Chains A and B, each alone.
Chain A
Amino acid sequence: MVIYLKAGGELRAKLQPDVDDCTRRVETEAGVSLRDILAGIGINPAFVAFALKGGDVKRLDYVPAEGDVITLQPPVSGG
């Protein structure tokens, strides 16, 4: 199945978009968690605090469905 990943902040540079300036198309097996999908495309999950899908926060244990568009958000720790 295919999902589409986007990224916020400085994570954009790590995403290597291929569909347009900010979207990467990823082919994956069904039933695989976002954490494992990220590891499979070389993105260290320590660089992803959480993800967004349609106005909701998703954690890295989220299992995407076909066609999902998911935005990865980096950890933000400054004050």
Chain B
Amino acid sequence: MGRERESERYSRQILVPGWNQEKLKRATALIVGLGGLGSASALYLAGAGIGRLRLCDCDKVERSDLNRQVLYEESSIGSFKVEEAGRRLAALNPLVELEKLNVFLDSHTVGELVKGCQVILDGLDNLESRFILNQESFKKRIPYIYGAVHGWLGYAGFFHPPQTGCLACLMQPGLSQPEPVPVFGTVPGMIGLVQATEAIKWIQGIAPSLLGRLLIYDGLHLTFDLVNVDKNPACPLCSKK
């Protein structure tokens, strides 16, 4: 695609005060989990023209995903999510470089997954994997944009120790996690877009509003609470001497 078409594609967003398309173009974002959260954040980061999106998921699309995972359609059922997501995102914006990693996140694979990226977006569906990602983000000093949903409720946060606390400062392992999680599309959509917004700000050098804070979104009562998350002096990860 020529330079002129590229300029035309982004002509409306470069009018936004503080916007820096070049910084966005040079950036790599990792999205771990291409479910309801990851669908929303991937589509909008691709649309905005991020340089490279590293997509990680090892699941196949199921019919029960389609109420919320807007990257996929009926014909995607049975195919790997990374392949279907790659197809959709390439069709949306061929300027974005896509890395499709059909990889299960664990303590052995996480190091390679995060290597070279500027920001990590959490699209995961369980707390254990989130703690692994949180730990690696701390180790590599790459900011971790947390997102999670349940029913009408969604959380989003931006963790970047030592400037902020980390996920392990906020909550401990061993919490109750009902299966399957009740969920419908707009809640992960809302939280995924907040994550993408914060990623775009970070990449462009604009201070993320969630730095050291947590957004609590309650769709049932339509409340948005922004609360401070301090560092836990007893955090087993980021306060370890």
Of the candidates B151, B175, B218, which one forms a contact with A46 in the assembled complex, judged by CB atoms under 8 Å apart?
B175
Cβ of B182: which chain A residues have Cβ within 8 Å of it? Answer: 78
| Residue on B nearest A9 in the bound complex, by CB | B153
Q: Does B86 contact A (CB under 8 A)?
A: no
Of the candidates A59, A73, A75, which one forms a contact with B177 in the assembled complex, judged by CB atoms under 8 Å apart?
A75
Tell me, rounded to whole Å, the shortest Cβ–Cβ distance linking B20 to chain A.
29
Of the candidates B36, B152, B176, which one forms a contact with A47 in the assembled complex, judged by CB atoms under 8 Å apart?
B176
| Residue on B nearest A78 in the bound complex, by CB | B181
Cβ of B2: which chain A residues have Cβ within 8 Å of it? Answer: none
Of the candidates A46, A73, A78, which one forms a contact with B188 in the assembled complex, judged by CB atoms under 8 Å apart?
A78
Tell me, rounded to whole Å, the shortest Cβ–Cβ distance linking A63 to chain B.
14
Binds A, one of B94-102, B108-116, B117-125, B134-142: B117-125
Q: Does A49 contact B (CB under 8 A)?
A: yes
A-B contact count (CB 8 A): 87
Q: Does B126 contact A (CB under 8 A)?
A: yes
A8 & B153 in contact (Cβ 8 Å cutoff):
yes
B175 & A79 in contact (Cβ 8 Å cutoff):
no
Contact string, A32-53, partner B, CB cutoff 8 A, digits 1/0? 0000000000001011011010
Tell me, rounded to whole Å, the shortest Cβ–Cβ distance linking A30 to chain B.
22
Task: Please report the total number of B residues contacting A with Cβ < 8 Å.
Answer: 42
Q: Does B60 contact A (CB under 8 A)?
A: no
Contact size range, A: 20 to 34
Q: Does A2 contact B (CB under 8 A)?
A: no
Cβ of A78: which chain B residues have Cβ within 8 Å of it? Answer: 36, 125, 148-150, 181-183, 188
Q: Does A55 contact B (CB under 8 A)?
A: yes
Tell me, rounded to whole Å, the shortest Cβ–Cβ distance linking B140 to chain A.
22
B150 & A10 in contact (Cβ 8 Å cutoff):
yes
Q: A46-B176, A56-B230, A57-B228 are known contacts. Are A75 and B153 too (CB-CB below 8 A)?
A: no
B176 & A79 in contact (Cβ 8 Å cutoff):
no
Q: A49-B171, A50-B171, A56-B230 are known contacts. Are A76 and B150 too (CB-CB below 8 A)?
A: yes
Cβ of B218: which chain A residues have Cβ within 8 Å of it? Answer: 8-9
Cβ of A75: which chain B residues have Cβ within 8 Å of it? Answer: 127, 150, 171, 175-177
| Residue on B nearest A49 in the bound complex, by CB | B171
Cα(A19)–Cα(B170), bound, Å: 29
Cβ of B124: which chain A residues have Cβ within 8 Å of it? Answer: 79
> Can you list the 9 inter-chain pairs with the closest CB atoms, starting with the nearest?
A78-B181, A75-B175, A9-B153, A79-B125, A76-B150, A76-B148, A49-B171, A46-B176, A77-B177
